[in-house]
Amino acid sequence: MWPKVALLSTLYFSQGLPYGFFTQALPVWMRQAGVDLAAIGLTSLLALPWGLKFLWAPLVDRYGGSPLGRRRGWIVPLQAASIVAVVALALLGDGVTDAGRERLIVALAVGMFVTNLVAATQDIATDGFAIDLLPPAERGLGNGVQVAAYRIGMVVGGGALLVALGAWGWLSAFSAMAALLIAASVPILLHRELPRASPPPADGDGDGAHDGAHDDAGDAAPVTLGAALSFLRRGRGAMLVWCLALGFYKLGDGLGSAMVRPFLVDGGVTTAQIGVLVGTAGSVAGMVGALLGGLFARHGRLRALVVAGLVHAGLMAAYATAMGSHVDVVVIGVLLVGEHITGGMATVALFTAMMDACERRTGATDYTVQASVVVIASGLGSSLSGFVAGAAGYAAHFVAAGVVCVLGTVAMIPLYRRGVAPVDPTRAARATGAPAA
């Protein structure tokens, strides 16, 4: 398992690196430049490709016959495109004065959208690659390590880059990020992807709700653009209900977390402190939470979703207790670390459950449809966050976010008990005495 996880970790690290800058460093920089909260919240709309990637995910599943392999044929060129985008941003921002900051913000918005488009497409192929590599028994820990690697990328791209911008300057900081992306590309370049296996013919009518990755039937048939709709119709609409629950589960997190950084700026926390608290301590805490979440998911998907989700909701609402003209850095640090640990645990539990709903033939599409719903819901929450915080104040905003998190978590319980959610392989493993998934 570990060679597979190491390979996947480099790919998810590469995605977390630029994303960390756009979601962690950029909001701080914009607030310091005088940009209002509503505009900062609306920058999350630039991540729209992550929410719409289900539209072209079937193409990634269908077209992958290059000499590099089914998944590598997409991953390698898109990784190269990400490197080019970072280099372009390095040259774009080098030597910009205060007078040119407004133009730079616009250019960064364009660059952020393009980078998200490239990264979202690469993520489709990478998720399909992960589903191909990880059997059910390895998904929990595999997802934990992958999310941890993504968080490490966010540490470097968010907190470390925010600090490096002041110490090294724009060009040197972004050049270092490009060099890290190049180094992270080496494992996938050296990997030799196995040819696609031909599974046995289909046994039934394919209407089972949650056969998951075990169902390879019909693998020889081409994946069409209707594969995303086919996934939602699977199980007589059970997957559509499941996807709506996924979005509800992440809505409150998107609503609350988007205003943490502006709240710190308005509370008098310095840039260096924000870089340490959010970019470093928060991301490391999220990485620890991801590893814990991977282990926790091995003992039951629903248990992991509910426990992590409820504790995370409480800590999100607890930000309201740290209000004041100047926030207590120690108090906010404790809350932030706890919130990131439980948030990482909840995310891994959710991603693992999403993999349980995937079939091998359409794995990239199945997972992408679910991931798109999660991104759209998180983006919706983030987009509304500035308006809610501006109208009601930070305290009421964080309490409201915590309440939405609780409601989204509780909604998962009837789905699992009534068989709407994907089959939990850990339950079957306990029944047969097989290793936990």
Residue 200 pLDDT: 40
Question: Cα–Cα distance between 393 and 390 in angstroms, integer?
Answer: 6
CB distance 335 to 322 below 8 Å: yes
- Cβ of 157: how many Cβ atoms within 10 Å? 30
Residue 273 pLDDT: 81
> pLDDT-derived band of residue 311, with 50, 70 and 90 as boundaries?
very high
- pLDDT tens per residue, range 167-221: 777 788 788 888 999 999 998 888 887 666 544 444 433 343 444 444 433 344 4
Residue 244 pLDDT: 94
- pLDDT tens per residue, range 319-334: 888 776 567 788 888 9
Residue 201 pLDDT: 42
Residue 220 pLDDT: 42
Q: What is the DSSP letter of 202?
A: P
Residue 268 pLDDT: 81
Residue 430 pLDDT: 52
- Comparing 26 with 394, the larger pLDDT belongs to 394
Question: Cα–Cα distance between 87 and 255 in angstroms, integer?
Answer: 32
What HEC string does 80-93 produce?
HHHHHHHHHHHHHH
Q: Work out the average pLDDT over 57-67.
A: 77
What is the topology classification, in CATH, of domain 2-192+221-432? Growth Hormone; Chain: A; (1.20.1250)
Q: For the chain, give every domain's residue range.
A: 2-192+221-432
Residue 279 pLDDT: 66
- pLDDT tens per residue, range 348-362: 999 999 988 888 777
- Comparing 211 with 76, the larger pLDDT belongs to 76
Selection from 39-48, 259-268, 388-397 with the highest mean pLDDT: 388-397
Residue 216 pLDDT: 39
Question: Cα–Cα distance between 346 and 409 in angstroms, integer?
Answer: 10
DSSP codes joined into one string, 245-260: HHHHHHHHHHHHHTTH
Length of the chain: 437
Q: What is the pTM of this model?
A: 0.71
Residue 213 pLDDT: 40
- pLDDT tens per residue, range 278-291: 767 887 888 889 88
End-to-end CA distance of the chain: 13
Average pLDDT over the chain, rounded to an integer? 80
| Percent of the chain with pLDDT strictly greater than 90 | 20
Among 84-88, 97-101, 310-314, 367-371, which stretch is predicted with the lowest mean pLDDT? 97-101
